[in-house]
Amino acid sequence: MRYVSTRGHAAQPTFSDILLGGLAPDGGLYLPAEYPQVSGAELDLWRGLSYADLALEILKKFATDIPAIDLKALTDKTYRAEVYRNTRAGESAERITPLHVIEQDGDKTLLLQALSNGPTLAFKDMAMQMLGNLFEYTLDKQHAELNIFGATSGDTGSAAEYAMRGKRGIRVFMLSPHLKMSAFQTAQMFSLQDENIFNIAIKGVFDDCQDMVKAVSNDLDFKSRYKIGTVNSINWARVVAQVVYYFRGYLDATTSNDQKVSFTVPSGNFGNICAGHIARMMGLPIDQLIAATNENNVLDEFFRTGIYRVRKSAETYHTTSPSMDISKASNFERFVFDLLDRDAPRVKALFAKVETDGGFDLSGAPGSDGDEFRKIAQFGFASGCSRHEDRLATIRDLHARYGLTIDTHTADGIKVAREYAKPGVPMIVLETALPAKFNETIREALGADAVRPAGFDGIENLPQRFDIMDADVSQVKAFIVAQTGL
C-alpha cells in the first residue's frame, strides 16, 4: 500500500513513512493511492470477530509494511475491556462499541453506537489509544523520539494525552482555545502532571490553534530538527483506526450484506465522518453519511449549496457543543480530492483559495470554481444543523421517553438523524462523548447532574498545569524549543 498527497507531491510513501507525521511536504493530506476493497465473503467472516480482530483485518489492508503478527499484538493491546471500561448499565465492555436501539417508528430504526467507553469518555479514544501504541512501537523500532504537536477543541487533547502519557520517547504539546472548553474537558487535560505532557491555552478559537499546527507542519526544517509529529485527524493512522467502528456498526446492525445502513455523525473537523467516507469507498454498504453540525455550520452549508465558506475567528460561535466549534475542517480536503476525481492540481488551487479568499464554490453557478456539487449524492453525503435550543430539546426528549441521557454533540446528531431516517435503512448515530463531559448543559436541560463514571468525581478541583499564550506561532515554537532542549 502506497500513499499519495491530495496536492500531488511526487513521492508515494508507505504507512510507516507517514505514521509519525501529519501533512505531506506540499501541505496536502495523505490518502491511499487506491482504496482497498472489502468483499462480501470478508464481511461474512468478519461478523463474528472481536473488535480487536476486526481492527486487525482492516489495518492489515492499510499498514502493509508492518508484520501482521506485530499488528495483532498492537490491536490486542489496544482494544481490551480493561481499556474501554466506562460502560453504561447493561453494556458489556467486551463489545467495545455496543449498539443501542433508541427508537423504532414503524420500519424506521434509530440506533446509537457507543464510542465513549474509553479512558477520556469520548470517541477520540477509539483511535487515539491505537495511535499511541503504534507510535511507541515505531519509535522503539527506530530508536527515535517524537514531539507531538496538536490542537484540540476539547476531546482530541485529552484522548491524545491519556494515550501518550508515560510513553517512551514521546512529548505532547497540545494547544487549546483558552476558556472555550467545558470545565470537565479542561480539567481532564490540565490536571495531568506527567512530565511529557505540555498544555498551552491559546487566546483565540480552535481554528487559530489548528492553523498553528499546520504552520509548524509546513515548516519542514523546524519539523525535522525538532522531530514534530501530529495526532490531529490530519494523521492518517488515526483516520484508519476510526474506519473500524463503521464496519463494526454495520455488522452489528445487519444480518446480511444486501442490507444497507446510514450513519449520522456530529461533525466539525470532518475527521470522524471522513473515516465513514473511506469505509464506504472500500465497499461497506452505507446508504447515507449525514454530517450533523452545530451553529458553526460550514459543512452543512457546503453539503446544501456546494459553497465552502470558512468563517473568521470572530465569526466562529462558542456553543454548548464546543468540540464542533470549528469553521475550517482540516479533513475536508480528503473528501474534496475524491470529489474532484483526485485532480491534485485543482485541489491545491482550491485550498490555496481558502487561504486567500476564505473558500471556494463548486455549485456550478456562473463564475464558480466548478460544478462538482452535482456529484455529492453519489458519495452518499447529506447534512443538517442543530442549535442550542435543539440540543436541549433532544436531551430532554430522550431522557423523558427512554431514560437515556446523552451529551450535547450526540444530541446534535440525533436531532439531524431523525430528519433523514428512512424506512428499512437502520440509522446509526455515532456517540461523541459521555454526558458528564458537558455537565453544565445537562444541568440546564434536565435540572440534575449527569452521572459520572467511577474515578472522575471532583476532577475540576484537581491542581492544573498549563501555559497561556497568544495565537503566535513563533511564541509556541520557542516554547517547544525550550522544553526539548535540542
Q: Which three cell numbers stand for residue 433?
A: 462523548
Distance CA 321, CA 167 (A): 31
The predicted structure's pLDDT at residue 208? 94
For residue 272, which amino acid is it? N
Quote the crossing angle between the two packed helices 68-78 and 51-62, to the nearest 10°: 140
- From 3.20.20.100, 3.40.50.1100, 3.30.479.30, 3.40.718.10, which CATH number describes the 94-119+242-446 domain? 3.40.50.1100
For residue 180, which amino acid is it? K
Q: Which entry of 108, 124, 167, 328 is annotated as an active-site residue?
A: 124
Exposure of 363 in the CB half-sphere (CA atoms within 13 A): 15
Q: Which three cell numbers stand for residue 412?
A: 446534535
The predicted structure's pLDDT at residue 105? 86
Strand partners, 118: none
* CB atoms closer than 10 angstroms to residue 48: 9
Q: Which three cell numbers stand for residue 435?
A: 454526558
Q: Residue 166 — left, alpha, or beta (φ > 0 → left; ψ -120 to 50 → alpha)?
A: left
Angle CA 298–299–302, to nearest 5: 90
For the chain, give every domain's residue range: 94-119+242-446
Q: Which distant-in-sequence residues (6+ apart) come within 8 Å of 100 by Cβ?
A: 111, 112, 114, 404
pLDDT in tens, 285-329: 999 999 999 999 999 999 999 999 999 888 999 999 999 999 999
DSSP code at position 122: B
The predicted structure's pLDDT at residue 21? 80
Angle CA 264–316–468, to nearest 5: 110
Diameter of the chain by CA atoms?
64
Q: How close are the terminal C-alpha atoms of the chain, in Å?
A: 34
DSSP H stretches of helix in 5-104: 15-19, 40-46, 51-62, 68-78
Q: Is the dihedral of CA 413, 269, 378, 246 positive or negative?
A: negative
Q: Residue 87 — left, alpha, or beta (φ > 0 → left; ψ -120 to 50 → alpha)?
A: beta
Residue 60 is a catalytic residue = no
Pairing between β-strand 3-5 and β-strand 30-32 as defined by DSSP bridges: antiparallel
Strand partners, 197: 172
Where the chain has pLDDT below 70, the residues are 486
Among 201, 215, 193, residue whose Cα is nearest residue 157: 201
Q: Is the pTM of this model over 0.85?
A: yes
Sheet strands (E) in 204-318? 228-229, 261-266, 286-293, 307-309
Angle CA 321–323–325, to nearest 5: 80
SS3 state of residue 478: helix
Q: How far is CA 287 from CA 218, 242, 374, 383, 418, in A?
A: 37, 18, 17, 14, 15
Q: Residue 328 — left, alpha, or beta (φ > 0 → left; ψ -120 to 50 → alpha)?
A: beta
Distance CA 396, CA 403 (A): 10
The predicted structure's pLDDT at residue 486? 63
Distance CA 163, CA 155 (A): 12
pLDDT in tens, 153-189: 888 899 999 999 988 889 999 999 999 999 999 999 9
The predicted structure's pLDDT at residue 343? 98
Q: Which three cell numbers stand for residue 404?
A: 437515556
Integer-rounded Cα Rg, in Å, for the chain is 21
Q: How far is CA 402 from CA 89, 211, 396, 399, 444, in A?
A: 14, 42, 10, 6, 19
